[in-house]
Structures are given as structure tokens and as C-alpha cells.
A and B are shown apart, each in its own frame.
Chain A
Amino acid sequence: MSSHTGKFGEYGGQYVPEALMPAIEELDDAYERYVLENEDGFMDDFRERLADFGGRPTPLQKAHRLSDRYDRDVYLKREDLLHGGAHKLNNALGQVLLAKYMGKDRIIAETGAGQHGTATAMACAHLGMPCEVYMGRRDINRQRPNVFRMRLNGAAITPVTVGRGTLKEAISETMRDWATNVEDTHYVIGSVVGPHPFPSMVRDFQRVISEEAREQMIEKAGRLPDSVLTCAGGGSNTMGLFAEFVPDEDVDLYAVEAGGSSLEVDEAEGVAPNSATLSTGTEGVLHGSRTRVLQDRDGQIMESHSVSSGLDYAGVGPELADLVDRGRVTAVNVADDPALEGFHRLSQLEGIIPALESAHAVAYVEENHEDLGEVILLNISGRGDKDLETVLEETHDRDIENAPEMETFAETGGF
């Protein structure tokens, strides 16, 4: 890991407007002092809040019925049980607290599925910071419960209508706000993307997932897992889950991306009907860092697609891209339909309704368990409450085999 240079092989760096560079240098300095060196007891404060406010540690649960189905041991890291219902709070709380230590007095954030926005709004309410969240118009429509939750926690929501109105556009818009108000505002980036130090810093706030999971595996299974899997959009839960396992060469790491409806791209329309950046993207520069991106041959960024808005992003964290290039992490992908099946399977077999993001990883295990060894660790990055309307609509439209009867709900127009 090279957190001090901000480079991961050829990836990483700082590609941002000059107006932001001083703020990024200031943040880098704060990251080194507070996060890496625990100045003023910052990390102790952070960990205490994660425990008391966040509900950490989250459990590692043996999934008995999945284990029986696949005839191997499947363990679930239950990030869905973190306060707010997803791993996102680890990072949001870390960054809002850091902003407070830095003396900033306003927080901005962008959100795709709404989980990061929700986590940031919660952290801001907890720490008494004003918060504005940029969200694509299309995502606002897809994720109404999260929009309401953000409002309840006192955040202002600003709809982004340019482009297709998803995460990519929301990030650009938040960067513009930051460039205007950089002197008193901190931008809480929601994933391990963006200019250095964000990819390293967000990984370090999310690292708690693998610190706990590694210890819990040894405690519960008496050994490390053969394979560790989780979904990958921007890659924050992915890097959080992998970080402590990277040195364990015998543990296989799988980043499961959203294969959407197809891995083919429509260059003429500038649309990739997937969000499988690690599997199909090429090296480029997006939102402040050099990484793998979905782009056309000229370098224009493509619109991505996934049934899960949290994975719907044309870029990915530079460190994760490097780990894939080096062969340490295997990038795989799962299409929308099997992801929906995975959603229903975990709901039915384990009584856990997973986020559609996490359902991609669940689905990968269904198809490939024979190649994943005897002990499998699967991260449930978030819970699926936010996705119920999407699942209702998509399941109804697509005829998903293992889905329950949805007709009654579909006819009454949802919930």
C-alpha cells in the first residue's frame, strides 16, 4: 500500500482544478496526522463513535442454509446491521469527524443509491454539522425512502438533472460546489475514488470491516476463509473488506461487479449497459484520479447501468484497479437477473433482505461455489429496505424464477 504517494502502480494521483488543490493538500495533511498518527486521539474518538453510535462490531454469521445448499461453510459479514443499514457509515462518520477536527463548518456529499447520503446526513446530525447532498434526479426517483431519511436527519437534497441524473453527474456537481466553497466546506466522497488522499483515507475508514472479519473468522471457523467476496461499484466496501486480507496470499479475493443487462457497449450512444468497470473498463482519468473507467475510444465517459444504483458508476477505486491488474483480486461480474435471484434467495433462505448491491455477490456464490473453496466469506454490505420498490418493479417486469408472487403489490402501485 502506498498511502503517502497516492499512487497505486500507475493509478491514483490528483487530477483536479487548481482551486481545489490547496484543500486537497490540507486534507492530506489532516489524514496523515489524525488518521495515520492518531493526533489528538482522533482514531480513538472515531472508533468509540463507531461502537456507540454505529453499533460496531457487526456480527459474522454462519449462514447455515446457504452452507447446506452449497455443501461448504458460508459466513456472512453483516454490514447491513450497522446503523443506517450499510457499511457507508464507517466512512461518512470518519470524514465528518475529520472535517470537524479540521475546523470546517459545512459538509457536502453526493449519493447514488442514497446509502452514502443517508450515512453522511446521520453523521452530520450526530456531530452537529450542516449537510447538503447532491443526488441524481433518476436516483431520487429510485430511492425515495433514503431521500426521506436524509431529510429527516436535516440534510438539504439538491437534485442533479444533467446527463442521465445518476451518480456520475452527482459527483461532478458536488465537485463544482466544492470548488466554489472550498474554504469552509468538506466534500465527503462516498467511495475509494477521487483524488488522493480520498482512496487511501476512505479505505482506512472502511478497513474496520476486514479487521473485524479476519478476527471473527479465526474465532468462529478457526481459520481464514478460502475466498472472500463482495460487490464492487466504486469499491469502498470492497477495499474495506479486502484490506486486511491482501497480505494473506492463500485467501482468494473476488470483486463482484454489476454486469447489468450486457457486457457489450453501445459506443454510438455512449452507453455501457453495465457497471463492470474492472471487467471491461480501460485506463483513464475521471473525477480526480487515474483509474479504470467506462469510456468510449475518444475518452468520453460512458453512462453506466445497473439494477442497483449503488453500483451504477463508470469508475472504480484506483487501488482496487491496481490489485486487479496485479492479479491479487479477481474481478468478476453478475448480471441484473441473477442479482435479483440472489436477492430473493438470501431473503428466503436466511431471512436477510440484502441490498441489491450485495445481492450480486450472493448470486456469484450460487453459480461458482465449487471454485470458492471450503470456507467462504461473503460481505453483506447493506440491507435491502431501500430497494423494495425497485425489486417489486424489476421482479414483476422480468419474471425472476425464485421470486414470490408480487401481483397484488404491483397492481396497487407499490407500497
Chain B
Amino acid sequence: MSRISDAFADGPAFVPYLAAGDPNYEASLSYVEALERGGADIIELGLPFSEPIAEGPTIQSAIVRSLEGGMTPPRFFEFVADLDVDVPLVCMTYYNLIYQFGEGTERGPEAFVRRAAEVGIEGFVVPDLPAEEAAPLREACDAHDCELVFIVAPTTKGERLERIMSQVSGYVYVQARLGTTGARTDLSDRTEESLARIAEWDVPKAVGFGISSGDHAQRVIEAGADGVIVGSALVDIIAQGVERGDPPVTVANRLESKARELKQGALRGAPPSNEQPHPERT
């Protein structure tokens, strides 16, 4: 078992996302570390791409801030190496950056995954890479013991489910609603339906897109998910900090407490179990 699948073994996992380098390198390091203190079990780190077609306005703005702050793939790997966290890290990015990485004949997925694995990345989510085009990245992941996480959308049905099931590893990212990423005040009623379609899959199911509160997290876990993925609700805290000119330490504290709210919500949603009393984090 990889550290990524292990993260789901002891009850519901909380999987936050931040764009690395948002709004700058130093602050971003402290924000990612704050998420771990708040209870993150896995952290998804965005490596920003200039055309993030799967993202809504919140994460798109984070990507713009990060790029303007000088984030590049090589810098991203330094960032990961500089992070002081113990939880497994997943890199979320777009295929062109993977495809272009490296020098000369070494360019491409193998070079990218090798470098990522060196600095401690253990998995990848690539939203514009469907299962049909994923073979080169899959091979590179296998060669370096990394997981390749795929997204299952509300529209994914029939043969496509089979195709994804045969490729997915680590966890499956269940997209709770159509559209792009973004925090919502309501929760999609398509979550249960989506989870039911993949109930038989032998891989943890983490639900994302639109989760913004502990209450949402609880309901997603109650609906049968093994984990919750939260991006925009956290990125909003950074955006707010930038807008108000708050010091990074204040923003980090807010992130930590939001993370705790989401993690606790997820724990509340878990079925009661004698072996696994809910651990209370403080």
C-alpha cells in the first residue's frame, strides 16, 4: 500500500488543495504547512498553468497570482523540497507542463515524474488528461512508484467508467457537480449518484468540487465518500488576505482553522466504529 492509500485507512481523509506559490513562495510554504496542522491527510499542490480550463474563477486567480510571483515547474519542485510536511503530496497540473518538462530527448512525462518523485511527490492529478491519452504518464508513474489519480465526472458513465477504473490508482477524484472548481453554498445532490456508480471500485473515493464547510464535508462522507477534496474555499482565504493586506501569519492561522473545521466535519460524517473512535485534534 502506498502512503496515499494509507491516508484513507483510518477514517475519512481530508485532502486540501492550494496553488503552490500563491501569492508568493514564502507565504505559500507556510500556508501549506498550516493545512497539515489543521488535519490534512494528503495535500494537493497546484503547479499553475496559464490556461487552466477546468478551474473556476477562484483557483484561476490563484494561478495568476502564483505565475506573476514567478512560479515555474523547476521552482515548484524546489518549493516541494522546501516544504516541511509529513503527509503525502499530490501534484495537480495540466498536461502541457508535464509534456514540456526536461531537456532535449529527455523531455516529457518520464523526466517530470522522476523529478517530482525525487522531491517527494507521490501522486498526480491532471484534469485535461483523459484515460485515453494517459499511457505515457501512467508508465512514468509506474516506474517511479507514483499514483495517478483520475477524475470521475457526473457525466462519466458506461464504458468510460471501465476505462478509468483500469487506470486509476491512489484514489479516485469524484467530481461532485458539473462545471469548474469553486466553493458553493449548497451541495450537489449528484454526489450520491456519482458515488453509487463506482461503489464497487477497490480504491478510495474522494469527493471534490464545491465543498466549502465542515457541514458539507460531513454530508459528503455520510453519502459514502472516503475523503473530501477542498480547494476554492481555502484559496478564498488567501485571496481575502491579499485583498486586505493581512500578514501571512494571520492568513495561515485562518487556513489552519478552516482545515480543522473541514477535517472535523469529515470525521463527524464517518459511521461510528469501536476500533476507530474519532480522534479529536486540537
Q: Which residues does A use to contact B, with CB under 8 Å?
A: 13-23, 25, 162-163, 168, 172, 175-176, 179-183, 270, 284-288, 290, 293, 295, 297-301
Give residues 80-131 of B contacting A (CB, 8 Å): 94-97, 99-101, 127-130
Interface-located stretch among B1-9, B46-54, B241-249? B46-54
20 residue pairs of the A-B complex, CB under 8 angstroms, read A16-B130, A17-B54, A17-B151, A18-B150, A18-B153, A19-B155, A19-B179, A21-B153, A21-B160, A175-B53, A176-B55, A179-B54, A284-B100, A286-B96, A287-B51, A290-B99, A295-B96, A295-B100, A298-B72, A299-B100
B156 touches A15 (CB 8 A): no
Q: In terms of DSSP, what is the predominant structure of the interface of chain B?
A: loop
Min CB distance, A296 to chain B, in Å? 9
B96 touches A162 (CB 8 A): no
Q: Is B223 an interface residue (CB 8 A)?
A: no
B50 touches A22 (CB 8 A): no
Q: Which residues does B use to contact A, with CB under 8 Å?
A: 49-56, 60, 64, 67, 72-74, 94-97, 99-101, 127-130, 132-133, 150-157, 160, 164, 175, 178-180
A299 touches B101 (CB 8 A): yes
Chain B residues positioned under 8 Å from A299 (CB to CB) = 49, 73, 96-97, 99-101
B64 touches A176 (CB 8 A): no
A162 touches B60 (CB 8 A): yes
Q: In terms of DSSP, what is the predominant structure of the interface of chain A?
A: mixed
Of all chain B residues, which has the CB nearest A24? B130
Min CB distance, B233 to chain A, in Å? 19
Chain B residues positioned under 8 Å from A14 (CB to CB) = 130, 132-133
Min CB distance, B105 to chain A, in Å? 14
Chain A residues positioned under 8 Å from B127 (CB to CB) = 17-18
Of all chain B residues, which has the CB nearest A315? B51
A285 touches B99 (CB 8 A): yes
- Could you list 5 further interchain pairs (A-B, Cβ under 8 angstroms) beyond the known A18-B151, A179-B53? A19-B179, A163-B50, A284-B99, A285-B94, A293-B96
Instruction: With A176-B179, A182-B178 as known contacts, state yes or no: A15 contacts B151, CB within 8 Å.
Output: no
Chain A residues positioned under 8 Å from B52 (CB to CB) = 172
Instruction: With A14-B132, A22-B156 as known contacts, state yes or no: A298 contacts B180, CB within 8 Å.
Output: no
